[in-house]
């Protein structure tokens, strides 16, 4: 595969012999001192990079540098911090295509989706720049005469970011861009499956740092390491916040470690997302939403559609439309035009998909289409599959699990209350949707008796959330919120202040102590 975009981003300059650096900031570039790690592309299985992973000792040194940078950055006016983020966004715009090509190389996303992910980073930069002038608290009425009460929001400290491979740039940007304007420094452990995406981002950040010499060089850094690095970050009290995106199993480990030291964790974990299709739905509109949500990114999104809960009266018609649509899907090299479904990330993902389909059939499910490995007209060495639809009972054990692959379970319901119960009866609670033209059904779905997910949509799919709203979910999804709305408060500490400008010292609640 041609790799000109690597040169254009400056990534080739990072190569030292055959190894890429494992620790990079604006101040330092260091090779790791740990185990060797080879990276391969899901497109065709070819090797893309070789690392020696960083060690906990190297993480400790980088954490010290991030702490020192924080003491400077926290006193930089927030609008000035915003100007730094603005420049990062401008450079991301300039190199949008090259950045997207790195995502396609490492995550296997089709190029339009990869371009959309880089655009999400750019949009978050715009959001954060505006936010840099709106980090405001409240003035609160005091019960004591001659007193004023208010709250302020102050920078929190170095933030540890642990991210997954499937959104190797966007998730970092939700945390880093907001954290930076809030006055924090960022130390990022990306997935070992997508380290070049992290280095590509760091080259952009480093260029912005070079243009703004007053900005401390270690405010943003990348450390390529294994599970021991994530564990060390979670246990280190110098990180007041650990933001982790990935599996529920990983999130529980991080949450326990951070909680043991009474730190903060922001967890974005698994999603087992459902869409209710009412008998009052526009089926053609629902069909388009289902297909993109279920097969986009080859089903490897936390917001991918896993379950369709359809009214029994329209189930057969919907299933026929879905099978027909799936038969037309173009599967292949994600770098090629007109391809809609690229590869799974690796062989393990393929094996997990096959195991889930076997379990579904053993539990009474019927595979309507898909599930096979594609070997013709695709690059050798990649794991390409036909997205699958399984007709199954709502109480089957397999539908309680999130399989990170393009498997869509279809089940029926009798009334809207039952449909909502089926949707909510899983451990996860990230994204949800209903398709209906019935106002009462839509409002019930959004009410306290409706969806228990962090994202609840009407006549729109489960994936493709905009950056302006807070993103995250409930239950085993972790409860975290990132990106829009007031998610910025995660990255700051609140200080309630009372000022006595009078000549007396009355106590609150009318207490007399003389």
> How far is the C-alpha of 493 from the C-alpha of 179, rounded, in Å?
12
CA atoms within 13 A on the CB side of 275: 32
Q: Which two tokens stand for residue 164?
A: 């997954």
SS3 495: strand
**Count H helices, E strands: the chain?**
14, 25
Task: Using alpha carbons, select from 298, 302, 326 the residue that is nearest to residue 410.
Answer: 326
> How far is the C-alpha of 290 from the C-alpha of 286, rounded, in Å?
6
Task: Using alpha carbons, select from 274, 257, 277, 273 the residue that is nearest to residue 265.
Answer: 257
Task: Using alpha carbons, select from 64, 34, 74, 65 the residue that is nearest to residue 52.
Answer: 34
The pairing of strands 273-277 and 305-311 is parallel
Inter-residue contact 414 to 386 (CB < 8 Å): no
Per DSSP, 224 falls in state -
Q: What are phi and psi of 286, to 5 degrees?
A: -65, -40
Task: Using alpha carbons, select from 173, 67, 184 the residue that is nearest to residue 125.
Answer: 173
Per DSSP, 301 falls in state S
> How far is the C-alpha of 226 from the C-alpha of 264, rounded, in Å?
22
Cα–Cα distance list, 163 to 244, 330, 367 (Å): 6, 29, 33
Cα–Cα distance list, 252 to 146, 238, 247 (Å): 48, 20, 9
> How far is the C-alpha of 3 from the C-alpha of 17, rounded, in Å?
17
Catalytically annotated residue among 268, 402, 476, 482: 268
Is 268 catalytic? The answer is yes
Q: Which residue has the tokens 């439309």?
A: 321
Q: Which two tokens stand for residue 63?
A: 């954490």
Q: Is 375 exposed, middle or buried (0-12, 13-18, 19+ CB in 10 A)?
A: exposed
Q: List residues with catalytic annotation.
A: 268
């Amino acid at each position: 595969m041609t790799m000109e975009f690597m040169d254009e981003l400056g990534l080739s300059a990072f190569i030292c012999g055959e190894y890429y650096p494992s620790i990079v900031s604006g101040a330092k570039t260091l090779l790791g001192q740990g185990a060797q790690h080879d990276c391969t592309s899901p497109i065709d299985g070819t090797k893309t990079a070789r690392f020696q992973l960083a060690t906990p000792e190297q993480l400790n040194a980088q954490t010290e540098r991030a702490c020192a940078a924080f003491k400077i950055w926290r006193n930089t006016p927030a609008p000035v911090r915003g100007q730094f983020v603005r420049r990062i966004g401008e450079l991301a715009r300039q190199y949008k295509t090259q950045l997207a090509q790195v995502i396609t190389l490492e995550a296997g996303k089709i190029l339009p989706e990869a371009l959309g992910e880089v655009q999400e980073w750019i949009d978050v930069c715009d959001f954060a720049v505006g936010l840099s002038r709106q980090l405001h608290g409240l003035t609160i009425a005091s019960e004591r005469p001659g007193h004023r009460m208010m709250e302020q929001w102050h920078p929190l400290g170095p933030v540890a970011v642990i991210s997954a491979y499937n959104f190797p740039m966007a998730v970092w940007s939700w945390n880093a861009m907001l954290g930076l304007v809030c006055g924090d420094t960022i130390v990022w452990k990306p997935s070992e499956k997508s380290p070049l995406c992290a280095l590509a981002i760091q080259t952009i950040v480093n260029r912005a740092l070079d243009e703004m010499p007053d900005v401390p060089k270690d405010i943003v850094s990348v450390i390529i390491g294994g599970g021991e690095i994530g564990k060390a970050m979670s246990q280190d009290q110098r990180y007041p916040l650990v933001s982790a995106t990935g599996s529920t199993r990983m999130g529980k480990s991080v949450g326990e470690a951070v909680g043991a030291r009474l730190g903060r964790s922001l967890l974005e974990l698994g999603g087992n997302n459902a869409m209710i299709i009412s008998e009052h739905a526009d089926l053609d509109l629902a069909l388009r939403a289902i297909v993109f949500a279920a097969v986009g990114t080859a089903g490897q999104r936390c917001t991918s559609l896993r379950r369709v809960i359809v009214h029994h009266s329209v189930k057969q018609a919907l299933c026929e439309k879905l099978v027909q649509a799936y038969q037309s899907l173009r599967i292949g090299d994600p770098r090629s035009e007109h391809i809609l479904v690229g590869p799974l990330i690796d062989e393990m993902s393929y094996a997990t998909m096959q195991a889930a389909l076997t379990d579904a059939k053993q539990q009474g499910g019927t595979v309507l289409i898909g599930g096979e490995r594609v070997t013709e007209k695709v690059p050798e060495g990649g794991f390409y599959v036909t997205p699958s639809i399984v007709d199954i009972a709502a109480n089957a054990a397999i539908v309680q699990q999130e399989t990170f692959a393009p498997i869509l379970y279809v089940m029926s319901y009798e009334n809207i209350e039952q449909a909502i119960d089926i949707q909510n009866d899983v451990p996860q609670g990230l994204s949800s949707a209903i398709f209906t033209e019935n106002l009462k059904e839509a409002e019930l779905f959004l009410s306290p008796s409706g969806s228990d997910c962090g994202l609840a949509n009407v006549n729109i799919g489960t994936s493709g959330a905009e950056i302006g709203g807070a993103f995250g979910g409930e239950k085993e999804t972790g409860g975290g919120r990132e990106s829009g709305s007031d998610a910025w408060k995660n990255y700051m500490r609140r200080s309630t202040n009372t000022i006595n400008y009078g000549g007396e010292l009355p106590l609150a609640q009318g207490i007399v102590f003389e």
